[in-house]
Structure 1
Amino acid sequence: MSFFFRMASRMRPSTPEEVVRSIKDSFLALSSKTSARALEEVEKNISSLRQLLSGDGEAEPNQEQVVQITVEICNEDVLPVFVQNLPSLGWGVRKDLVHCWCILLGQKVDDSYCCVKYIEDHAELLDFLVDCYKNWDIALNCGSMLRECIKYPALAKYVLGSNSFELFFEYVELPNFDIASDALNTFKDLLTRHETVVAEFLSSHYEQFFELYTRILTSNNYVTRRQSVKFLSEFLLEASNSKIMKRYILEVHFLNIMIGLLKDSSKNIRICAFHVFKVFVANPNKPRSIIQALLDNRRELLKLIRNLPASKGEAELDEERDLIIQEIEKL
């Protein structure tokens, strides 16, 4: 070890309290004056934090120290400082900060996740992260941080029930493909990670949710339309969502949307729409309105289904198509 390296090591903060204080001070200096020197200090501190939390490639991190740093970060209110200063940071330091964020959230202190509890008590941080999808420079960083948060049921529940959740229906149509796809991934995580949380949310927000979802199903944006119908076909057919599916297939409005998507110029959209449409037809307890809509469109539907293109990996498609044709012909 060189003399200069030993000297530098001695000058670095040594205790968890000193480490966190140094990080916070450097961010506060950045807030008061955005200079190259201030940015350099923040970058150095976050790089050091990453090394302390995940090791240096040769030695594993000291887990006791990691826990102590986590506690201090919560005690010193450093998480809001991280989030609020993201727009001022460069690409490299944001990447390091996201890495540190993921490790910190996963630290258990006395049988609870210290940082998760902190965010639960300061839920405006979640709103800020959702809102950051509007800032294309930091959108992907915030998306990663947000997905880490919603691994935890309490935080996912907050986002689902917040006004911020509705923003995702706008984000999935953003013209920037990478950001729109990232927002869709977050949206999917919110609706698939925690079955009980999602069931409670949809039971109390059913009309509002599907009214918004209908907009993206009928979007002029091909990618949005394709991804939204694909996700719906997967989501409704999950066993955990059977109650939502049974409610969905009673509504003629939603049947008409699927009929419209069966006419789409995209082969993939037509196949995904069929996987939702077939549930309407196969339902043994179809209400009269559904039966009438199928009868009114019978000739066209039979033609659309017979012309449904074959799809790789869809071994059961032909069999399902024949069964649905038979059901419609029996009406």
Structure 2
Amino acid sequence: RCALLGRRPQLLVSARLWPQPLPAAGSVPSAGGEMSFFFRAASRPRSSQQDLVRSIKDSLLALDTKTGAKALEDVEKNIFTLRETLSGDGEVEPNQDHVLQIALEICKEGVLSLFVQNLPSLGWEGRKDLAHCWCILLRQKVDESHCCVQYIENHVDLLDFLVVCYKNLEVALNCGNMLRECIKYPSLAKYILESNSFELFFQYVELPNFDIASDALNTFKVNPVLLIWYLW
């Protein structure tokens, strides 16, 4: 494995495994390319798509200040509405223009960070819906660029967080699903491959929990470079 990258992998220190605090939602993006997406339609009237994203953001932020089932119910209801908007409800097909607008608004408002940060707080259905939405959002292209992938490139701690969360049995499979979508994109796969947290996968594939070990191995198979590194 060392020969593949021409360097020795660094030893992991447990204190470095947990990612740094996630950026504050709605913080100003650090890259000019990302900025061009977010402010293109700044002068347009508020749309129902913007209202949906704002409701999702507000309900996720409220999890930090509210307690009880009501706050969680609001989050999961909003995420379910997002899922139906992105993928349709079985009778009505999604409006692609609305889907693209939602993807841009979610990046602008920092909701992708809130998704990852609050994933462990959700119930089983909520986590499943969130992972489903995550995969759809990453595939959205505006002017030949994947805006959500760009967002993650500028907030790579999200990838570290997802890798470390494999240790949490309740969310491991959801994290695996989200990571597999991420590493389909070369820039995100490159970051995972070169990060310290990548070495954790060699522990995960040997876990006694068959489901998690198999899921971690499946993550390698999504990207040939990762698989070669694993088999080297």
User: Structure 1 length normalisation: TM-score?
Assistant: 0.54
Distance 1:148 1:141 in 2: 11
CA deviations on 1:110-165 (whole Å, 9 max, x unpaired) are 21000001001111100000001110100000000000000111100100000011
Corresponding position of 1:162: 195
Q: How does 1:113-192 map to 2 (within 5 A)?
A: 113-190=146-223, 192=224
CA distance in 2, matches of 1:80, 1:186: 21
The reply to whether residue 86 of structure 1 matches residue 119 of structure 2 is yes
Q: d(CA) in 1 for partners of 2:47 and 2:143?
A: 24
Q: What letter corresponds to residue 157 of structure 1 in structure 2?
A: K
Distance 1:166 1:105 in 2: 25
| Contact 1:31 1:85 survives alignment (8 Å) | no
Secondary structure at the counterpart of residue 64 of structure 2 = helix
The corresponding residue for 1:35 is: 68
Cα distance, 1:67 vs structure 2: 0.4
- Contact 1:140–1:179 at 8 Å: present in 2 too? yes
Q: CA deviation at 1:35?
A: 1.6
Unaligned residue ranges in structure 1 (runs of 5+): 1-12, 203-208, 214-231, 237-331
**Overall identity of the aligned pairs, in %:** 71
The correspondence of residues 9-20 of structure 1 with structure 2, limited to 5 A, is 15-20=48-53
Alignment partners' CA distance in 1, 2:115 and 2:90? 25
Which is helix-richer, 1 or 2? 1
C-alpha contact 1:83 1:125 (8 A) present in aligned 2: yes
> Which 5+ residue runs of structure 2 have no aligned equivalent?
1-45
- Cα distance in 1 between the residues matched to 2:204 and 2:97: 40
Q: Which amino acid aligns with 1:63?
A: Q
1:52, 1:34 → 2: CA distance? 28
Q: How does 1:43-58 map onto structure 2 within 5 Å?
A: 43-58=76-91
Paired AA for residue 42 in structure 1: V
SS for the counterpart of 2:137 is: helix
* Equivalent position amino acid for 2:61 in 1: L
Indicate the structure (1 or 2) with the bigger Cα radius of gyration: 1
Higher relative contact order (CA 8 A, sep 6+): 2
Structure 1 CA distance, aligned partners of 2:89 and 2:120? 27
- In the alignment, the residues of structure 2 paired with residue 58 and residue 189 of structure 1 have an alpha-carbon distance, to the nearest angstrom, of 31
State which of 75, 92, 95 in structure 1 corresponds to 2:128: 95
Report the AA paired with residue 122 of structure 1: H
1:188 CA displacement: 2.8
Q: Is the 8 A contact 1:95 1:141 kept in 2?
A: yes
How far apart are 1:16 and its partner, in Å?
1.6
* Equivalent AA in structure 2 for residue 55 of structure 1: G
Residue 14 (structure 1) shift: 5.6
Structure 1 residue runs of 4+, over 6 Å off? none
How many residues align? The count is 187
Letter in 1 for 2:100: V
Corresponding residue for residue 31 of structure 2: none
Normalising by the residue count of structure 2, what TM-score does the alignment of the two structures yield?
0.77
